[in-house]
């Protein structure tokens, strides 16, 4: 029998995260204070984020950072996640490519987001924080944070983008099961929310707006910190557990990836699976390609500009040097809610600029077509976000079929889609459309 899944035992788990900033030839440009426009120091972030997370955010010197023991212990509840050889998908495509995927959908909350949520909640707890706030788009981050908050004994307040609050009621229920307080955004509970609703009472919300609301709450509330599920460098740092495990697991499979692929919202699951392999491109002359798959309707990497921009709609956050569609960009209501964000993290933005990675954009209908093919071939219904990575992987596998090459393709299955069945219903009924970008 051929080996299908590669698993690491608890004592084989990586004990450190990988910080690519330390190895980058061109470091990311500094984050700028929104008021003074001066480069940020970690202390400037302390009012909003836990101190250790603020230091991790700007750490450009340590290649590896220890994973605290209590976080590692919680990781063992679901890690390692399996590295899976996609024999079923290879057969369905009749491709000579060797396709592997890292199955982050087995986490208790169904996505990779828990890898950073546990770390963030832990550091907040250690620093005496009582409440944590955040925003959530599709609901995966809010779910992960709600669970992580309950694990470490914190209260969580989650602003959920209104469109997904309405489209995905069970996400809200799951967050409430974990004890979180969930508010649809924009709401009247913050100045940022009120301002937007005054101009446009029917606004369906966006991640940018929900971030403004959560940051505002953190600033106004004692012992309260804000947490973010993507975009920032410390989030991607925590996600490198994915690629570090995959590196060991690929070794067990006796292969090394020629191409690494992940979907792209703010860059955390992409960086998480890619950076440990990209390290070998930077340091050891490996030639692996890295492909970020973004939605055609929100194409910051392929059609955005590299410039300083705010991370949120209102302009509360520091200015970030990134590929962006502009912080006022309002993304189409695609079902891959986790990919509806106007900008890319500063590390990936610099790496894209310097040619270490590529980006491709995927139409909504192509993403669901790929997702259904994958579901039938491998038995897992993927998250609409992950469908973008699958579609990009299929494109590469079909190129291998044309050229007859047996390339090794590795993609990240960032989450399952069992909470997204209304989107699949609409796709199967022929009611979904593509959205063009006309920015």
Ligand X SMILES: *Cc1c(COP(=O)(O)O)cnc(C)c1O
The nearest distance, CB 398 to ligand X, in angstroms, is 23
Helix, strand or coil for residue 44? Answer: helix
Which is closer to ligand X, CB of 125 or CB of 382?
Answer: 382
**Residue with the two structure tokens 């954009």:** 361
Instruction: Give the whole-angstrom CA distance, residue 233 versus residue 77.
Output: 25
d(CA 430, CA 316) in angstroms, rounded, equals 40
User: Which of 140, 206 has the CB closer to ligand X?
Assistant: 140
326: left (phi over 0), alpha (psi -120 to 50) or beta: left
Select 121 or 400, whichever has its Cβ closest to ligand X: 121
Phi-psi region of 227 (alpha: psi -120 to 50; beta: other; left: phi over 0): beta
Shortest distance (Å) from residue 339 CB to ligand X:
6
Q: Who's near 223: CB < 8 A, 6+ residues apart?
A: 128, 129, 130, 131
Closer CB to ligand X, 273 or 394, in the complex: 273
CB-based contacts of 407: which residues, under 8 Å, 6+ apart? 97, 98, 258, 259, 396, 400
**Shortest CB 273 distance to ligand X, Å:** 9
Nearer residue to ligand X within complex by CB, 221 or 302:
302
Nearer to ligand X, 205 or 415 (CB): 415
- Sign of the four-CA dihedral 83, 86, 87, 90: negative
Return d(Cα 182, Cα 170) in angstroms, integer: 12
Rounded to an integer, what distance in angstroms lies between the CA atom of residue 392 and that of residue 434? Answer: 16
* Eight-state DSSP code of residue 66: E
Cβ closest to ligand X, residue 131 vs residue 414: 414
Smallest distance from ligand X to CB 262, Å: 7
- Based on CB atoms, which residue is closest to ligand X, 19 or 95? 19
- Which residue in 341, 296, 346 sits closest to 320, CA to CA? 346
Our separate counts of H helices and E strands in the chain read 17, 15
Q: Which of 98, 415 has the CB closer to ligand X?
A: 415
Place of tokens 């910080």: 19
CB of 362 to ligand X, least distance (A): 13
Provide the token pair at 136: 């959530």
**Please, which residues bridge with residue 358 across strands?**
291
Tell the smallest beta-carbon distance from residue 143 to ligand X (Å). Answer: 9
Q: How far is the CB of 103 from ligand X (least distance, A)?
A: 12
Cβ 405 to ligand X, closest distance in Å? 28
CA nearest neighbour of 237 among 115, 125, 359: 115
Give 88 or 142: the residue with its C-beta nearer to ligand X.
142
Question: What is the contact surface with ligand X in residues (CB under 6 A)?
Answer: 111, 113, 138, 140-141, 230, 263-270, 338-339, 383, 385-386, 414-415
Q: Of the two residues 347 and 377, which places its CB atom closer to ligand X in the complex?
A: 347
What are the structure tokens assigned to 277, written together? 């392999």
CA distance 169 to 407: 41
Measured from the CB of residue 14, what is the shortest distance to ligand X in angstroms?
19
Residue 402 CB, shortest distance to ligand X, in Å, is 29
Sign of CA dihedral 214, 219, 221, 227: positive
Rounded (10°) angle between helices 268-284 and 346-353: 50
Pairing mode, strands 98-103 and 83-85: antiparallel
Q: Are 4 and 87 in contact (CB under 8 A)?
A: yes
The minimum distance between CB 344 and ligand X, in angstroms, equals: 9
């Amino acid at each position: 029998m051929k080996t299908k899944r590669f698993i690491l035992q608890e004592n084989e788990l990586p004990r450190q995260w990988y910080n690519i900033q330390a190895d980058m030839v061109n470091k990311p440009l500094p984050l700028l204070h929104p008021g003074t426009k001066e480069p940020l120091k970690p202390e400037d972030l302390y009012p909003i984020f836990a101190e250790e997370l603020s230091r991790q955010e700007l750490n450009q010197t340590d290649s590896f950072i220890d994973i605290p023991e209590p976080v590692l212990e919680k990781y063992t509840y679901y890690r390692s996640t399996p590295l899976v050889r996609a024999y079923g998908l290879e057969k369905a495509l009749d491709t000579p490519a060797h396709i592997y995927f890292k199955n982050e959908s087995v986490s208790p909350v169904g996505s990779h987001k828990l890898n950073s949520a546990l770390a963030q909640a832990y550091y907040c707890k250690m620093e005496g924080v009582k409440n944590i706030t955040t925003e959530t788009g599709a609901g995966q981050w809010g779910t992960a944070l709600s669970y992580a908050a309950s694990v470490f004994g914190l209260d969580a307040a989650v602003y959920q983008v209104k469109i997904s609050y309405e489209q995905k009621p069970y996400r809200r229920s799951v967050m409430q099961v974990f004890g979180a307080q969930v508010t649809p955004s924009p709401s009247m509970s913050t100045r940022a929310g009120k301002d937007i609703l005054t101009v446009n009472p029917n606004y369906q919300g966006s991640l940018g707006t929900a971030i403004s609301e959560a940051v505002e709450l953190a600033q106004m509330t004692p012992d309260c910190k804000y947490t973010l599920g993507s975009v920032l460098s410390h989030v991607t740092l925590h996600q490198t557990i994915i690629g570090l495990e995959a590196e060991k697991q690929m070794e067990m499979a006796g292969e090394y990836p020629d191409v690494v692929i992940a979907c792209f919202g703010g860059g955390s699951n992409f960086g998480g699976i890619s950076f440990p392999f990209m390290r070998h491109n930077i340091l050891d002359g490996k030639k692996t390609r890295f492909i970020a798959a973004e939605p055609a309707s929100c194409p910051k990497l392929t059609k955005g500009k590299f410039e300083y921009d705010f991370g949120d709609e209102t302009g509360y956050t520091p200015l970030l040097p990134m590929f962006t569609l502009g912080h006022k960009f309002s993304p189409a209501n695609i079902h891959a809610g986790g990919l509806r964000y106007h900008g890319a993290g500063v590390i990936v933005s610099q790496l894209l600029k310097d040619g270490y990675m590529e980006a491709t954009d995927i139409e909504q209908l192509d993403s669901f077509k790929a997702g259904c093919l994958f579901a039938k071939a491998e038995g897992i219904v993927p998250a609409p976000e992950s469908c973008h990575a699958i579609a990009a992987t299929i494109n590469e596998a079909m190129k291998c079929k044309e050229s007859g090459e047996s390339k090794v393709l590795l993609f990240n299955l960032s989450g399952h889609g069992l909470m997204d069945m209304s989107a699949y219903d609409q796709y199967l009924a022929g009611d979904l459309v593509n959205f063009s970008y006309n920015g």
